[in-house]
Amino acid sequence: MKILVCISHVPDTTSKINFTNGDTEFDTNGVQFVINPNDEFGLTRAIWFQEQQGAHVTVINVGGPETEPTLRKALAIGADEAIRINANPTDGFFVAKQLAQVIQTGGYDLIIAGKESLDYNGGMVPGMIASLLDYNFINSCVGLTVDGTSATASREIDGGKEILSSSLPLIIGGQKGLVEEKDLKIPNMRGIMTARTKALTILEPVQADAKTKSIQFEKPAAKSAVKLVDADNLDELINLLHNEAKVI
């Protein structure tokens, strides 16, 4: 079985986010980048298939040379090879078009992507790939098994879970629950050293027009100052809740 895992290169959630050029561009200075968490759950599941069923795992990313450390980490975790499409991921359609081209010529049985990335939270790329290739697609996937040419997946729905079966090839949009957090793999020294010798192929992008453009970014409004009321001053507390907060 050939598995392709789509990897997004995203800022660590602990990073302080700023914008430049009149709040039109993301400021990468001082920002630590990591594997998108939803993608990391998918990668871990792919490595499980590798260990249990002998699957061949390839990771892929659309991005510049700055994304290669993220791909190397995926290789250190256990992926067999990596592909970087040498282009700026301008929008979801552009990224989906690049990935679809590789999938179409690569003969992959299972394509695992995160249901969304934690930077723009677009949640559109896996579905767009499926539409471009006319592949089966299961989103919000929290469980996946493969038996021969058939897959069984569970996905979150309002009020519960839905169990689905599908033939391969299949695209899934994975998330937390696809594996347990305790099962996420941390690269060890052997994995890091081995990753240096694994193939990282760089491909040039195919022609595709971006369908969207980020015009401006805006930070959330700053939180207002907290007012502290003495525990014995219930009258003042009630007055503030009634006249200022207007919750009673």
Residue-by-residue DSSP string for the chain: -EEEEE--EEE-TTSPPEEETTTTEEE-TT--EEE-HHHHHHHHHHHHHHHHH--EEEEEEES-GGGHHHHHHHHHHT-SEEEEE-S---SHHHHHHHHHHHHHHHT-SEEEEESS-TTT----HHHHHHHHHT-EEEEEEEEEEEETTEEEEEEEETTEEEEEEEESSEEEEE-TTSS-GGG-----HHHHHHHTTS-EEEEPPPP---S-------PPPPPPPPPP--TT-HHHHHHIIIIIS---
For the ranges 59-73, 181-195, 218-232, the maximum mean pLDDT occurs at 59-73
Residue 224, pLDDT above cutoff 80: no
Q: How many CB atoms lie within 10 A of CB 210?
A: 14
Side chain identity, residue 221: A
Mean pLDDT of the chain: 92
Above pLDDT 70, what percent of the chain?
Answer: 100
Predicted local confidence at residue 25, as pLDDT: 86
Select from 22, 94, 100, 92 the least CA-distant residue to 60. 100
Average pLDDT over residues 177-201: 91
Tell the CATH superfamily of the 2-219 domain.
HUPs (3.40.50.620)
Q: For 44-103, what is each residue's pLDDT tens digit? A: 999 999 999 999 999 999 999 999 999 999 999 999 999 999 999 989 999 999 999 999
How many angstroms separate the CA atoms of 55 and 42, rounded? 14
